[in-house]
Amino acid sequence: MITAAVQARTRYALFAAGFTTFSLLYYVQALLPIFSDEFGVEPSQSSLALSLTTGVLAFALLASGAVSDAVGRKSIMFLSLFLSSALSIAMAFSPNWTMLLGIRVAMGITLCGVQSVAMAYMSEELDSKAFSATLGLFIGGSAIGGMVGRFAASVIADHYGWRTAVAIIGLAGLCAALYFRYALPASRNFVPRARGGARLKQDLAAILADKSLLCLFVVGFAVMSGFVTTYNYISYRLVAAPFFLSQTAIGFVFAVYFFGSIGAAFAGRRVGSHGHSRLLWRFQAVMITGILLTLSGALAVILLGLALLTFGMFASHSIASSWVSLKAHRSKALAVSLYLFSYYQGGSLIGAVGGMFYLGSGWGGLVALTTALGLLGVLCGLSVGRGAKS
């Protein structure tokens, strides 16, 4: 029986891991207009600093789940945090755009070792009630990390330059990685799975044959695509007429990420009593409502829309990802890796394609794209709910 003290250490360590991962992954989003100016690239090219990372991360997650099934959880997560932070520091010294993108690609590989592995760790070490609550806190930490990373990058870059901002965030990540190594309890219930292509092929076939899991993978794709695409290009809209916000002001806009932490925690508490199927589509509807509100020409309404989008996305992600862990009967880490593969591909592919919609059809075209994908996610979520007990 795991004690309350050990549960608390686990929660704090995983909160730090989620915080650091999303901070390192997404702080560049606030710097995209700066990259456009400094390196002379279009918005769709600048967005590659994020899209390439998430695209590579999606594929690397497939390997991280399988590797952790064989060698363990904690060591993979620590190495991921440490190397990603070190690469962020190296990025501060990038001499050109090509080198910067190369480092961001490498970070897509190193960042793969936290999310799917953390979910597998939680499902093995915690009971169902503690799992849902801890997963909500982990994803909440991710939301706060994304917020703080973007905010810190904006403010520091505005006063001291983007290179200083990148280096400071990397150093903070190293400190968080060392704390994680100290605080997270070693696995007690982890059982290594046999290595080899045959076992992996069997696990993969079983997962892909489950229509409910496939629908949840589409949900992940849909919610992440709408979220990342909106945030990728909202800075371009807000620095231009009629808003003319400064880089520091853009950093404060990202404070709405706090609502993501609230959404993840709220969903984690409610799912035990209300069930996954009842809550998932409702939170997706909240997200779509938020996207539509960004069509407004009033800054206050746009901020409200971003808050609803962020709340709904993190709540939806918390429910969908925990549902994957519960429904997967073979290799939970691999199932979660496939979910996260779809999740990050949504951010990578649609995040890049969204730039073409924005340039070609303005903000309305981008909203039309993300809303359509959001509705697809709702339909898939409802499909999973039919006949489900949870």
Query: What per-residue confidence (pLDDT) applies to 43?
Result: 84
pTM over 0.75: yes
Provide the pLDDT for residue 197. Answer: 67
The domain ranges of the chain are: 4-184+195-385
Taking the domain 4-184+195-385, which CATH number applies? 1.20.1250.20
Please tell me the predicted confidence (pLDDT) of residue 63.
79
Q: What pLDDT is recorded for position 42?
A: 87
Characterize 142-167 residue by residue with b for buried, 16 or more Cβ atoms within 10 angstroms of its Cβ, and e for exposed. Answer: bbbbbbbbbbbbbbbbbeeebeebbb
**Residue 13 to residues 147, 154, 176, 262: CA-CA distances in angstroms?**
19, 26, 9, 19
Determine the pLDDT at residue 337: 81
User: What span, in angstroms and rounded, lies between the C-alpha atoms of 142 and 21?
Assistant: 7
Q: What is the pLDDT along the chain (390 residues), one digit of tens a residue?
A: 567 777 788 889 999 999 999 999 999 988 998 999 999 998 888 989 998 998 898 888 877 766 777 677 888 899 999 999 999 999 999 999 999 999 999 999 999 888 778 877 887 888 777 777 787 788 778 888 988 998 899 889 989 999 999 999 999 999 999 999 999 988 777 666 655 667 778 888 888 888 999 999 999 999 999 999 999 899 889 988 899 988 788 888 888 878 988 888 888 778 767 788 889 999 999 999 999 999 999 999 999 999 999 999 999 998 998 888 788 776 777 788 889 889 988 988 898 889 899 989 999 999 999 999 999 999 999 998 665 555
So what's the pLDDT on residue 142? 84
pLDDT of residue 191: 67
How many residues in the chain? Answer: 390
What is the rounded CA–CA span in Å between residue 34 and residue 46? 9
Q: How far apart are CA 382 and CA 379, in angstroms?
A: 5
**Integer Cα distance of 265 and 175 in angstroms:** 25
Cα dihedral 331, 336, 337, 342 sign:
positive
Half-sphere exposure in the Cβ direction for 274 (13 Å, CA) = 15
